[in-house]
Structure 1
Amino acid sequence: MTMSIARLSAQSGLKYLFKTTMMDDLKIAPVDATNYYLKSGTPPGRWVGSGLQGISRATGDVVTETDAKAVFDAAAHPDTGTPLGRPHGQPTLVQKSGGRTEARHAVVGFDLTFSVPKSVSALWALSPRSIQGQILETHHQAVSATLQWLEASVIHTRAGRNGVAHIGTRGVIAAAFDHWESRAGDPQLHTHLVIANRIQRITDGGWVTLDSRTLYKAAVAASEHYNGLLFDALCRNLGTETDFRKPAANTHNPSQQLAGVDDALIREFSNRSRLIDLETDRLVAEWTASQGTPPSATTIIKLRQQATLSTRTAKPETVAPLHELSARWQKRAINKGFSPSHTLAATVRRSHRTPFRSCDFAPSWIDAVGSLARERVAIKRATWNRWNLLAEAERVCAEIRCKTAEDRSSMIDAVATAAENQSVALNERRYTVPVDAHSDLHFAGHSVFDFQGSRLFTDAGTLAAEDAVMDARNDDRGPAVCAEVTMESLASYKHRGRLGLHTDQRAAAATVLLSGNRLDAIVGPAGTGKTTTLGAVKAAWEAEFGTGTVVGLAPAAASAEVLGRELAMTTENVAKWLHESAGQGAGNRAVQFFDVERRLTRHQGDRNPHTVRLAQKAALLAAEQDRWRFHRNQLVVVDEASMVSTLQLAALVQQARDSGAKVLLVGDPGQLDAIDAGGILGWLDRQGKTSRLTTIWRFEQAWEQGASLMLRSGDFSAVAEYNRHGRLRHGSYLDMVDQAYLNWQADIKAGKSSILIAAENDTVSMLNQRAQADRVIQGDADAEQAVPIGNGSHAGRGDAVIARQNDRTIVDSNGDFIRNGTMLDVVRSDRRHGSLTAVRRDTGATISLTRDYLESSAELGYATTAHRSQGLTVDTGHTVVTQGRLTRELLYVSMTRGRVGNHAYVSESNPLEDEPLDPAMQATWQQILGEVLAAEGAERTAHEVRDAERTKADSLQRLSAEFDYLAQIAAAEDLPAFLETYSPGSVAELQQSPSWGATVVAWRRSVQVSRPSAERVVKVALGTSESAKDVAAVVHSRLRRFLSEMPSIEEDLLAPVHTSRPDLTNLLSQVQERIQHRTDQVTKDALMHDAEWKRNLMESLDVDVRSDDALDVVSRVATFRDRWGIEDSPLPLGPVPAAHEWEQREQRAHVERFIGQLRHRSAGQPHGQVCVGEAVTQAERLMNVGWQL
Structure 2
Amino acid sequence: MLSVAAVRSASGAANYFAKDDYYTVEGSSEISAWAGEGADSLGLAGEVAKDAFEGILNGILPDGEAVAQVENRRAGFDLTFSMPKSASVMAYVAGDKRILGANMAAVQKTMAWVEKNLAEGRKDVEGRKVPVQTGNLVYALFQHDTSRALDPQGHIHAVIANLTRMADGKWQALHGDKLWSHNSIIGSVYHAYMRTGLEQLGYGIDLKGKHGTFEISGVPKSVIGEFSQRREEILDRATQLGVKSPEGLREITKRSRDPKLDVEDREALKQSWVDRAAALGFDGKGLVAAAEARAGIAQPDSALERGYCAIVEAIDGARNRVGALLRPHDPLVDNALARAVKSPAEARTQLAVASAVRILSEREAAWPVHKLGKTALDLGLKGVTVESIERRIDRLVQNRQLIPGIATAADRTGRMATTQEALRTEERILTSVEEGKGTANPIIAADTAPVRLQEASDRPLNPGQLAAASLILSSADRTVSVQGVAGAGKSTMLQAVARVAEAEGRTITGLAFQNKMVADLAEGAGIKAQTIASFVLAHERFIA
Q: Same fold (TM over 0.5)?
A: yes
- For residue 35 of structure 2, the aligned residue among 45, 48, 71 is 48
For 1:414-473, what per-residue CA distance to the aligned partner results, in whole angstroms no more than 9, with x for missing partners? 213124443222239xxxxxxxxxxxxxxxxxxxxxxxx943333344445555555555
| Partner SS state of residue 388, structure 1 | helix
Partner of 1:515: 475
Q: 2:444 & 2:216 partners in 1: Cα distance?
A: 67
Q: 2:184 & 2:277 partners in 1: Cα distance?
A: 32
Partner of 1:867: none
1:154 and 1:214 in contact (8 A); partners too: yes
1:476 and 1:515 in contact (8 A); partners too: no
* Structure 1 position 412 matched with structure 2 position 389: yes
* Structure 1 position 88 matched with structure 2 position 69: yes
Q: 1:371 & 1:277 partners in 2: Cα distance?
A: 36
Structure 1 residues 519, 255: CA separation in 2 closer, same or farther (over 3 Å shift)?
A: same
Partner of 1:541: 505
Q: CA deviation at 1:73?
A: 1.7
Partner of 2:214: 256
For 1:1013-1070, what per-residue CA distance to the aligned partner results, in whole angstroms no more than 9, with x for missing partners? xxxxxxxxxxxxxxxxxxxxxxxxxxxxxxxxxxxxxxxxxxxxxxxxxxxxxxxxxx
Q: 1:134-153 to 2 correspondence within 5 Å?
A: 134-153=98-117
* Structure 1 position 69 matched with structure 2 position 54: yes
Q: 2:453 & 2:5 partners in 1: Cα distance?
A: 60
- For residue 534 of structure 2, the aligned residue among 566, 572, 576 is 576
For 1:882-901, what per-residue CA distance to the aligned partner results, in whole angstroms no more than 9, with x for missing partners? xxxxxxxxxxxxxxxxxxxx
* Structure 1 position 551 matched with structure 2 position 509: yes
| Partner SS state of residue 541, structure 1 | coil
Structure 1 residues 483, 154: CA separation in 2 closer, same or farther (over 3 Å shift)?
A: closer
Partner of 1:329: 273
1:109 and 1:196 in contact (8 A); partners too: yes
Q: 2:165 & 2:223 partners in 1: Cα distance?
A: 46
Q: 1:387 & 1:462 partners in 2: Cα distance?
A: 18
Same amino acid, percent of matched pairs? 21
Q: 1:204-219 to 2 correspondence within 5 Å?
A: 205-216=169-180, 219=183
Q: 1:923-1072 to 2 correspondence within 5 Å?
A: none
| Partner SS state of residue 260, structure 1 | coil
Structure 1 residues 151, 495: CA separation in 2 closer, same or farther (over 3 Å shift)?
A: closer
Q: CA deviation at 1:57?
A: 3.7
* Structure 1 position 391 matched with structure 2 position 349: no
Partner of 2:159: 194
Q: 2:346 & 2:402 partners in 1: Cα distance?
A: 17
| Partner SS state of residue 406, structure 2 | coil
State the one-letter code of the partner of 1:63. V
Partner of 2:224: 266
Q: 1:266 & 1:143 partners in 2: Cα distance?
A: 22
Q: 1:371 & 1:30 partners in 2: Cα distance?
A: 39
1:158 and 1:164 in contact (8 A); partners too: yes
Partner of 2:198: 234
For 1:297-328, what per-residue CA distance to the aligned partner results, in whole angstroms no more than 9, with x for missing partners? xxxxxxxxxxx9xx968234414554344334
Q: 1:317 & 1:141 partners in 2: Cα distance?
A: 28
| Partner SS state of residue 456, structure 1 | strand
State the one-letter code of the partner of 1:384. W
State the one-letter code of the partner of 2:50. E
| Partner SS state of residue 88, structure 1 | coil
Q: 2:112 & 2:118 partners in 1: Cα distance?
A: 10
* Structure 1 position 425 matched with structure 2 position 430: no
- For residue 182 of structure 1, the aligned residue among 139, 147, 159 is 147
| Partner SS state of residue 179, structure 1 | strand
2:518 and 2:531 in contact (8 A); partners too: yes
Structure 1 residues 253, 379: CA separation in 2 closer, same or farther (over 3 Å shift)?
A: farther
For 1:641-685, what per-residue CA distance to the aligned partner results, in whole angstroms no more than 9, with x for missing partners? xxxxxxxxxxxxxx6xx7xxxxxxxxxxxxxxxxxxxxxxxxxxx
Partner of 1:126: 93
- For residue 82 of structure 2, the aligned residue among 110, 115, 134 is 115
* Structure 1 position 476 matched with structure 2 position 426: no
| RMSD, aligned α-carbons | 4.9
1:114 and 1:190 in contact (8 A); partners too: yes
| Partner SS state of residue 76, structure 2 | strand
Q: 2:391 & 2:379 partners in 1: Cα distance?
A: 13
In structure 1, stretches of 5+ residues that fail to align are: 36-42, 92-103, 280-307, 402-407, 429-452, 543-548, 583-624, 630-654, 659-1189
Q: 2:379 & 2:101 partners in 1: Cα distance?
A: 26
Q: 1:278 & 1:515 partners in 2: Cα distance?
A: 54
Structure 1 residues 472, 332: CA separation in 2 closer, same or farther (over 3 Å shift)?
A: farther
Structure 1 residues 125, 539: CA separation in 2 closer, same or farther (over 3 Å shift)?
A: farther
Q: 1:728-807 to 2 correspondence within 5 Å?
A: none
Structure 1 residues 317, 184: CA separation in 2 closer, same or farther (over 3 Å shift)?
A: closer
Q: 1:555 & 1:385 partners in 2: Cα distance?
A: 20
Q: CA deviation at 1:516?
A: 2.9
Partner of 1:678: none
Q: CA deviation at 1:572?
A: 2.8
Q: CA deviation at 1:540?
A: 0.6
State the one-letter code of the partner of 1:315. P
Q: CA deviation at 1:370?
A: 4.6
Structure 1 residues 319, 469: CA separation in 2 closer, same or farther (over 3 Å shift)?
A: farther
Structure 1 residues 14, 539: CA separation in 2 closer, same or farther (over 3 Å shift)?
A: same
Q: CA deviation at 1:399?
A: 0.4
| Partner SS state of residue 127, structure 1 | coil
1:493 and 1:536 in contact (8 A); partners too: no
1:17 and 1:177 in contact (8 A); partners too: no
| Partner SS state of residue 146, structure 1 | helix
Q: CA deviation at 1:477?
A: 4.9
State the one-letter code of the partner of 1:515. S
Q: CA deviation at 1:113?
A: 1.7
- For residue 244 of structure 1, the aligned residue among 193, 196, 207 is 207
State the one-letter code of the partner of 1:82. G
In structure 2, stretches of 5+ residues that fail to align are: 238-251, 301-305, 311-339, 408-412
2:121 and 2:174 in contact (8 A); partners too: yes
1:386 and 1:420 in contact (8 A); partners too: no
1:384 and 1:456 in contact (8 A); partners too: yes
Q: CA deviation at 1:191?
A: 0.6
1:186 and 1:269 in contact (8 A); partners too: yes
For 1:882-926, what per-residue CA distance to the aligned partner results, in whole angstroms no more than 9, with x for missing partners? xxxxxxxxxxxxxxxxxxxxxxxxxxxxxxxxxxxxxxxxxxxxx
Q: CA deviation at 1:190?
A: 0.8
Structure 1 residues 174, 535: CA separation in 2 closer, same or farther (over 3 Å shift)?
A: same
| Partner SS state of residue 190, structure 1 | strand
Q: CA deviation at 1:192?
A: 0.6
Q: 2:459 & 2:58 partners in 1: Cα distance?
A: 67
Number of matched pairs:
474
2:473 and 2:497 in contact (8 A); partners too: no
1:551 and 1:570 in contact (8 A); partners too: yes
Q: 2:449 & 2:53 partners in 1: Cα distance?
A: 79
2:454 and 2:461 in contact (8 A); partners too: no
Q: 1:434-833 to 2 correspondence within 5 Å?
A: 454-466=414-426, 474=434, 475-480=436-441, 511-520=471-480, 525=489, 528=492, 530-542=494-506, 549-554=507-512, 557=515, 560=518, 571-582=529-540
2:81 and 2:155 in contact (8 A); partners too: yes
State the one-letter code of the partner of 1:418. R
State the one-letter code of the partner of 1:425. P
State the one-letter code of the partner of 2:477. N
2:449 and 2:470 in contact (8 A); partners too: no
State the one-letter code of the partner of 1:208. Q
Q: 1:875-954 to 2 correspondence within 5 Å?
A: none
